[in-house]
Amino acid sequence: MKLDPESYSTRHKPLDSVRFFISKILPKLGWGRNDEKEIILDVGCGPGGNTVQLIVPLFPKIDKIFAVDLLPEMIDFAKKYNSHTLIEYSVANIEDWSSVEGWGNKITKLTAIHCFQWLKDQRKSFCNVFQLLKPGGEAAFCFVLQSSFYAAILEIKKNPKWSSLFETVDDYVADSHHNNYHDAYYEEMLKQIGFDIIYCKEEVKIDIFASDEEYREFFPSICSLTSHVPAERKEEFKDDLFLALLQQNGRNSEGLPQHWGNMLELVIKKNK
């Protein structure tokens, strides 16, 4: 998979739903109130915007934040544009224990924001999270179950205009979208692994975009199909994805483009 960190970062502020979860919900659950310095792992940090803007301010006492992403280009971008003295960026894959085992049993808080919907083996990844956390450590997740973005991708793939380009391309539409997984599915999985569930909320979230241009640029930047489109057809592809998204989402009362996603927010704990 190849994504463009620069385009991804054009939406410079975090999604409103993500900001609310991290800055409002997590503090109510005791995050940021630990007397000891936290050792934090931010999984799927992307270009580092959420790490710098949301994770760092959440914790008054931080030993170190290890921020990891599977894609080297994301980490390169994060190091260049979102560096911070408390953050250490590196390439790692939460699905591959060998790439994260150095933090085994050391992490006090783990965050994974809009990461787990990309994973092929979520159960294995949750098991790795369990091994990474210290006893008593907690992890917070926010990820997509079903969304209009996924629906738009599937429509584009069926369009004869584009279908031949994507016959062998992984669209990275989440299994939860195809199989209609909901909160109960994840609660059962996590309990089997050994987690205590502190918070679990499934809710349709609507995020409003400031302009058509922002909307048109953002979604191709997180679409795995985009890199397979010839350069001379990129703008045409963006236009068609934009229209497919508008068809799924419509506009708000002020005429601004919006996106809906059925989101799962989780906070889980490894017992002492």
> pLDDT per residue over 110-135, tens digit each?
999 999 999 999 999 999 999 999 99
Pairing mode of beta strands 62-69, 133-147: unpaired
56 closest CA partner among 34, 29, 23: 23
Q: What is the pLDDT of residue 15?
A: 77
Q: What is the layout of strands, in order, in the sheet containing 133-147?
A: 87-91, 62-69, 38-43, 107-113, 133-147, 258-270, 195-208
**267: confidence class by pLDDT, cuts 50, 70, 90:** very high
Task: Specify whether the CB–CB gap between 225 and 158 falls below 8 A.
Answer: no
> pLDDT per residue over 47-63, tens digit each?
999 999 999 999 999 99
Mean pLDDT of 189-212: 96
> pLDDT per residue over 10-28, tens digit each?
544 567 889 999 999 999 9
pTM over 0.85: yes
Q: What is the CB neighbour count within 10 angstroms for residue 98?
A: 8
Interatomic CA distance for residues 255 and 239, integer angstroms: 18
> 3-state secondary structure string, 130-148?
HHHEEEEEEEEEEEEEEEH
